Structure 1
Amino acid sequence: MEDHSLEKKYNKFIVAVSIIIPVVVAILFGIKLKDFGINVEPLSFLPPIYATTNGITAIVLVWAVIAVKNGKLKLHERLMTFAIALSVAFLVMYVAYHMTSDSTKFGGEGIIRYVYFFILLTHILLSIAIIPLVLITYVRALAQRFDRHKKIAKITFPLWLYVAVTGVVVYLMISPYYVY
């Protein structure tokens, strides 16, 4: 009988993090530091940085898949850890920006408006769904349950890649409407 203790050990952590992150982000998204008398300059320089972070994440994810397909397992592991770190960095910058700056309204009209909101909505929903998927996939690799890791990675990879790429697309579509 195989030992599944590492996976079981992290299950509660994965569930907690998968709930806490979206809830905290939603709460912080609605908090403006200026409303609490904290005078902080808007971090208006962050959107192109966190969009670039998303783009780099997409490249790292593809590179990691190429690495594992070529049998470079240590490189794959390092790249996946780096992709997680990039996603965390994105999240911190995204929240910091929205806590110091007013939200930018998309100014496009017609069909492009519907395209933008479709991409934005799917990006947001999948960015929430990807949290447990990434964590489960990562823990299965740590537990050396590579059969189970590979099965879920086939779902996690395209969704995470979609979130990373659409993060860049959303930024490019809304960037003409930023007020600096």
Structure 2
Amino acid sequence: MKENKSLRTINVLSIVIPVAVAVLLGIRTKPDLGEWTKLLPHLNGVINSLTAILLLVGYALIKRKNREAHRKVMTAAFVLGGAFLISYVMYHLTNHSTSYGGEGFLKYFYYVVLISHILLSLIVLPLVLRAFYFAYVRDFARHKKLVKFAYPIWLYVSITGVIAYAMISPYYN
């Protein structure tokens, strides 16, 4: 009974969060909360970088059967994911999206990276939430089965977030 409620909550969050982000992107009049919000994409680049590093460290730790250190590192990666989401929402609530200014092959490469990053971030959200939940309730069989899919997607999303940031950062105001 409790598991059904938790999984339903994960399902709701997996829908509500992307819809809320899409709505924020569509808001034409942005509130002015100050110049500090212009720094948030740079913070997001750092968060994505740290998350990718933590994911790699967490993978190495579990391969060495260091479960306690793995738990701590993956919890930190999960918390960074939450921090990223808050920072991303704050930025897009207060600033218009930045257009990529590159041309030629780089422009196409950027959009392939960006689109794959966005689409896979939608897929990875419910997977990571479920994987974290299964680990939390100590259902390690289901956790292990799920992370075989969730982990590489989460790592890809983190790395492509850094790549997309690095490519668009020269065009931020």
Q: Assess same fold via TM > 0.5.
A: yes
The aligned counterpart of 2:146 is: 152
Give 3-state SS (helix, strand or coil) of 2:117's partner. Answer: helix
Note the residue ranges of structure 2 that are not aligned, 5 or more in a row. Answer: none
- Residue of structure 2 aligned with 1:28, choices 24, 36, 41: 24
Is 1:119 aligned with 2:113? yes
Q: Structure 1 residues 68-77 or 156-165, which shifts more?
A: 68-77
Partner residue in 1 for 2:15 = 19
Q: State the Cα deviation string for residues 93-150 of structure 1 (Å, max 9, x = none).
A: 1111122222111011111111100100000011111111001111222232222211
CA RMSD of aligned residues (A): 1.5
Greater share of helix:
2
**Kept after mapping to 2: 8 A contact 1:7/1:143:** no
Structure 2 SS opposite 1:131: helix
- Give the structure 1 partner of residue 135 of structure 2: 141
1:84 maps to 2:75: no
1:41 corresponds to which of 34, 39, 48 = 34
Per-residue Cα deviation, 1:62-93 (whole angstroms, up to 9, x for no partner): 11111111111111111111111101111111
Q: Which amino acid aligns with 1:72?
A: N
Deviation, 1:8, is: 2.9
Cα distance between partner residues in 1 of 2:32 and 2:47: 27
Identity of aligned residues (%): 43
Residue 163 (structure 2) pairs with residue 176 (structure 1): no
TM-score, length of structure 1 as denominator length: 0.89
Counterpart residue number, 1:106: 100
1:57, 1:83 within 8 Å by CA — same for their partners in 2? yes
Unaligned runs of at least 5 residues, structure 1: none
TM-score when normalising by structure 2: 0.93
- Larger-gyration structure (1/2): 1
Structure 1 counterpart of 2:18, which letter? Answer: P
2:65 is paired with a residue of what secondary structure? coil
CA contact (8 A) 1:7 1:140 kept: no
- Count of paired positions: 172
